[in-house]
Structure 1
């Protein structure tokens, strides 16, 4: 694998994570439990989609095939996506949505903090902008997890169930492969495995405050970030997200 090929895969991973999670979060628009949450979740989704535009735009530029971020978002099939499985699982209830957001936000902010120092100035610039949004996302999702986890008996039960369900998906964010090795060698991005200790410390601190118990199992689902395997949910999500572009290919609005 050449450096450019690895670089493209890395950019797709970053962009696909924010794209798919952004779409998932946007599904709450008009359906959140209270108006304030409806607006907050919509803004979070917009932030993530904005970051997607930058990551996938750079990936398209690197590919040199005349494609745009829109092409990569709307004209690829499920097996071409490189997002972690965590972001494609359905929203379920509000508790699971916020737990998923917290588990992703904690990783995302740590990752972006490393990317700010990337040897590639374009990556560093994107990370600099995205990290400001990610810091707010983490503050908000962590506070909500604590409020619900240490809230009523019902909210605590739901948040613990959400954590039990989602925790096996978190480990994929720290799996390393040849793409990561190439990025480390080039000084573009960190080794995912090197982020785990800081992540565990951050997550444990918040979940302790939320009176929630982290599952002991270290089993981790995998396959999303390499494209080897996705859940059935991604295909259903893409049919909703991509149908207009595919029904009217090349349409200008």
Structure 2
């Protein structure tokens, strides 16, 4: 029985790592709502934030189910102490200027897409389903963030310098 509990604890830890990372980044990205340099980017960042928060709901909801302590996704998102979060440190980085935000998003997307592709092959149908759904969203996020990082890096002297700094 102890081995099953250890596996469940490890699974909850992994699910929280995924959910916490999307939660923190979703909130960071949402800070740009109404503040992006152009309306198109404002809308795109808001949609990215919403996608990430939706993924959070799925990952943390499953973590709560596996944990078996009656905690919901909201409980896990909003009623834990800071040291209980398992997110990637990258997502905690402050937004800084727009170039920093885009670079952080690109680096996260470049990690997130292959992670989800691997998890989509999981023997656990719940993990595979969440990963497949999130993978479709993240494929778009990666395409968009990569394109913007390249465009800004190849743009004006100022945008190039900002991307180099980021």
- In which range does the TM-score fall when normalised by the shorter chain? over 0.9
Cα deviation, residue 16, structure 1: 0.4
TM normalised by structure 2 equals 0.96
User: Match for 1:81 among 80, 85, 88?
Assistant: 85
- Shift >3 Å, 4+ stretches: none
Higher relative helix content: 2
**Structure 2: how far apart are the matches of 1:112 and 1:61?**
20
Q: In structure 1, which of residues 106, 113, 120 is the aligned counterpart of residue 117 of structure 2? A: 113
How far off its partner does 1:77 sit? Answer: 1.4
Could you say which structure has the greater relative contact order, defined with CA pairs below 8 angstroms and 6 or more residues apart? Answer: 1
1:53 aligned residue = 57
1:13 equivalent in alignment to 2:3 = no
Tell me, in whole angstroms, the C-alpha distance in 1 between the residues paired with 2:67 and 2:131.
Answer: 20
Counterpart-to-counterpart distance in 1, 2:43 and 2:81: 30
Matches of 2:156 and 2:35, distance apart in 1: 22
* Number of the residue aligned with 2:153: 149
- The number of equivalent residue pairs is 162
TM-score relative to the length of structure 1: 0.63
**CA distance in structure 2 between the partners assigned to 1:107 and 1:33 by the alignment:** 26
Alignment of structure 1 residues 182-221 onto 2, 5 Å: none
Alpha-carbon separation, structure 1, partners of 2:111 and 2:62: 22
Taking the aligned partners of 1:157 and 1:30, their CA distance within structure 2 comes to 25
**Alignment root-mean-square deviation, CA:** 0.8
Secondary structure in 2 aligned to 1:101? Answer: helix
Displacement, 1:63? 1.1
Match of 1:131 among 132, 135, 142: 135
Partner of 1:103: 107
Structure 1 unpaired stretches of 5+:
163-253
What is the aligned counterpart of 2:43 among 39, 42, 48?
39
